[in-house]
């Protein structure tokens, strides 16, 4: 395709992405390093004489004075701020710590917002991933073996948790965990024989677990659909050959089907890890902000929930998040680039 | 293809399928049913949601539209949010598809190195959480005095979804043989005519599938719409989030429940009509790599 035609066709899309992704990205980078001059607090004394006693007294008041002027370079101030990398807090925490690294880790590091959020993201990813992959695979295998007319209904039901808005999905589950007798509360209480009153909302651990369950419920359909499509392309010759060789079902699964699905498993894994950084709506849906905050939630808090918007901290957190996602994505980028090179030859 | 399974395995398969369908779909049925009850039934003991004793006592019927009346009332204005959502999703889908179809076609037909570079950059853009861009929008939008406008949100949603859209459209265009373009050009079409009269007629399934995902991205968006729209221009999902904050104060949680069911209903219909396209779209990126 000639260069001119290529750019003519791509122009609208390219323009949209340059103006509304690339430039905002530059702006985010800029905001993480520069900010307007801070308003200064001016102390002033107000004195008055009491009408009856004639005693004159003064009191100090603080007035906030707006400072106009060009943006000031803040260096790593925002990156080192308490709600971002918290350099000072880490340094003092380490200096004052006398009880070994484990103590420093749990008492200092895990009490700082960004590290807590990364910890939550890691927990969410590590706990949900195996469930999503295994359940997705089981559902795919099960649907693949269903009587054909039943498959459509099953796929319809399966798509619901995935397609429905995360806020709606999490609310629908959250309302069922109501501890005045919600259905999920009743079921888990029936199963949790060791506890008298097993509330799903009482502790941070319960909140984390409920969000993880939601994550599995929400993403398993995606894994299922991808694996199901993969199952349709398994070579029937290989299956038959394995059957003639007398391989039992479990071996056919292990040596024929799973290797065939391997690229898809990697794909689902990758998408899921990247999406873990996006977890935001469930924090609202499950009213979990006190116990669980994701990286996205931290940025959202700086920008939307705070009356006094903290652009610098939000931008610095955003830059770090993009870097983390980029590093995770790097192997895929390299592989995709190689595929292109091969295809172009 | 026929496969013979022993009875025990068949029972396991059908039992698991039934269990999975219940786990996936039941919460929605439960909530839809409960949205037609009074609050003490839906948020009370689960047996009360089934029987609806309080609803029966208060209204003399098993169902009541109380929650819906409250959500769509003058005060809560959920109807306004429904209208806003319709406008924003329609414009976002139409513009996204127009841009994405043209761009995806160019990317599918070019073998130049810069085309690949652009695709890789789009892939990075696609992987970034949307919230990371929001501070890049807010500051300029505030200073230009256009924060909160509907059309701004539409433009942002279009742009933020372009990486996804061009990748998906590209993968569909890759399935249309190049020979089709070439024969059209030999027959005297220019590129645009060839694209419109020869390629597009076979591309509609791809356009519909990509359109569905553009729709879902715009319809389900919370991040962009809640951060960039003013209260009166806001869409359904941020409005529902707003109900949650005020629900405890008002003692009116049923409005939120009714709003949730209202927001889910179009998706129900969508999945029912376009199930095949959704499945093919979900796998388009995966199976073809």
For residue B148, the tally of other CB atoms under 10 A from its CB is: 16
Interface membership of B68 toward A (CB under 8 Å) = no
* Domain map (residue ranges) of chain A: 112-338
Rounded to two decimals, the ipTM of the complex is: 0.90
CATH of domain A112-338: 1.10.3720.10
Q: Which of B48, B127, B135 sits opposite A311 (nearest CB)?
A: B135
Confidence check: pLDDT of B270 > 90: yes
Highest mean pLDDT among B9-13, B90-94, B164-168, B212-216: B90-94
A/B interface, count of CB pairs below 8 Å:
291
Least Cα distance to A285 among B68, B228, B256 occurs for B256
Kindly give the interhelix angle for A311-344 and B113-127, rounded to the nearest 10 degrees: 140
Residues of A in contact with B102 (CB under 8 A): 9-10, 12-13
- The CATH code belonging to domain B88-235+267-287 is 1.10.3720.10
Structure tokens at A94: 């380490």
Residue-wise pLDDT tens for chain A (345 aa)?
788 999 999 999 999 999 999 999 999 999 999 988 877 777 777 787 887 787 888 877 777 777 777 888 888 888 998 888 988 888 888 888 778 788 888 888 888 999 999 999 989 999 999 999 999 999 999 999 998 889 989 999 999 999 999 999 999 999 998 877 788 888 887 787 776 677 777 788 888 999 999 999 999 999 999 999 889 888 888 888 888 888 888 888 888 899 999 988 988 888 898 888 899 999 999 988 888 889 999 999 999 887 788 889 999 999 999 999 999 889 888 888 888 888 766
Q: Where are chain B's structural domains?
A: 88-235+267-287
Alpha carbon A207 to chain centroid, angstroms: 15
Residue of A nearest to B271 (CA): A156
Report whether A214 contacts A223 (CB < 8 A). Answer: no
State how far the Cα of A278 lies from the Cα of A172, in Å rounded to an integer: 20
| DSSP classification of residue A37 | P
Rounded CA gap, A310 and A295, in Å? 15
Structure tokens at A29: 């980078």
Separation of alpha carbons A92 and A29, rounded Å: 28
Nearest chain A Cα distance for residue B149, angstroms? 15
Exposed, middle or buried: residue B204 (CB in 10 Å: 0-12, 13-18, 19+)? exposed
Q: Which of B9, B27, B18 is CA-nearest to residue B264?
A: B27
């Amino acid at each position: 395709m000639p260069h001119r035609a290529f750019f003519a066709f791509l122009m609208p899309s390219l323009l949209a992405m340059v103006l509304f992704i690339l430039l905002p990205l530059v702006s985010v980078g800029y905001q993480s390093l520069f900010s307007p001059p801070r308003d200064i607090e001016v102390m002033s004394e107000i004195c008055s004489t009491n009408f009856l006693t004639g005693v004159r007294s003064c009191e100090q008041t603080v007035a906030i004075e707006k400072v106009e002027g060009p943006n000031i370079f803040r260096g790593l101030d925002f990156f080192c701020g308490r709600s971002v990398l918290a350099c000072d807090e880490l340094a003092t925490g380490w200096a004052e710590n006398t009880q070994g690294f484990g103590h420093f880790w749990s008492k200092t590091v895990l009490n700082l917002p960004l590290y807590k959020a990364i910890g939550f993201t890691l927990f969410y990813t590590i706990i949900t991933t195996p469930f999503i992959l295994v359940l997705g695979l089981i559902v795919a295998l099960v649907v693949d073996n269903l009587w054909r007319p039943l498959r459509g209904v099953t796929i319809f039901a399966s798509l619901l948790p995935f397609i429905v808005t995360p806020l709606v999905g999490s609310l629908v589950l959250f309302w069922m965990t109501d501890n005045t007798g919600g259905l999920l509360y009743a079921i888990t209480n029936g199963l949790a024989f060791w506890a008298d009153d097993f509330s799903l909302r009482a502790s941070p651990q319960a909140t984390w677990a409920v969000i993880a369950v939601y994550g599995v419920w929400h993403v398993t359909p995606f894994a299922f659909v991808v694996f199901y499509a993969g199952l349709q392309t398994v070579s029937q010759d290989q299956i038959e050959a394995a059957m003639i060789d007398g391989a039992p079902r479990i071996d056919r699964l292990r040596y024929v089907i799973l290797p065939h699905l391997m690229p898809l498993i990697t794909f689902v894994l990758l998408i899921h890890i990247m999406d873990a950084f996006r977890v935001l709506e469930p924090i609202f849906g499950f009213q979990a902000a006190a116990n669980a905050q994701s990286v996205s939630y931290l940025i959202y808090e700086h920008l939307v929930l705070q009356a006094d918007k903290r652009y610098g901290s939000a931008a610095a957190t955003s830059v770090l998040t993009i870097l983390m996602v980029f590093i995770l994505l790097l192997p895929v980028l390299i592989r995709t680039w190689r595929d292109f090179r091969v295809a172009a030859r | 293809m026929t496969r013979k399974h022993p009875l025990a395995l068949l029972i396991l398969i059908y039992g698991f399928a039934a269990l999975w369908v219940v786990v996936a779909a039941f919460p929605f049925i439960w909530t839809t049913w409960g949205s037609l009850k009074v609050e003490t039934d839906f948020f009370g003991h689960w047996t009360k949601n089934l029987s609806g004793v309080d609803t029966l006592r208060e209204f003399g019927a098993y169902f009541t539209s109380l929650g819906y009346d409250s959500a769509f009332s003058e005060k809560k204005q959920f109807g306004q949010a429904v209208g806003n959502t319709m406008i924003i999703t329609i414009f976002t889908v139409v513009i996204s598809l127009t841009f994405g179809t043209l761009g995806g076609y160019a990317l599918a037909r070019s073998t130049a190195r810069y085309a690949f570079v652009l695709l890789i950059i789009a892939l990075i853009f696609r992987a970034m959480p949307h919230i990371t861009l929001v501070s890049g929008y807010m500051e300029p939008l505030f200073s230009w005095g256009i924060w909160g406008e509907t059309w701004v949100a539409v433009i942002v949603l279009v742009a933020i979804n372009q990486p996804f859209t061009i990748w998906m459209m590209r993968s569909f265009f890759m399935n249309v043989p190049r020979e089709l373009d070439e024969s059209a050009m030999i027959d005297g079409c220019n590129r645009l005519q060839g694209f419109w009269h020869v390629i597009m007629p076979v591309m509609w399934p791809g356009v519909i599938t990509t359109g569905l995902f553009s729709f879902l991205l715009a319809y389900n968006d919370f991040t962009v719409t809640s951060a960039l729209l003013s209260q009166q221009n806001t869409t359904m999902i941020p409005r529902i989030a707003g109900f949650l904050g005020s629900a405890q104060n008002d003692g009116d949680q049923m409005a939120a429940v009714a709003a949730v069911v209202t927001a889910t209903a179009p998706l129900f219909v969508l999945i029912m009509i376009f199930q095949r396209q959704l499945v093919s779209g979900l796998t388009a990126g995966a199976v073809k790599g």
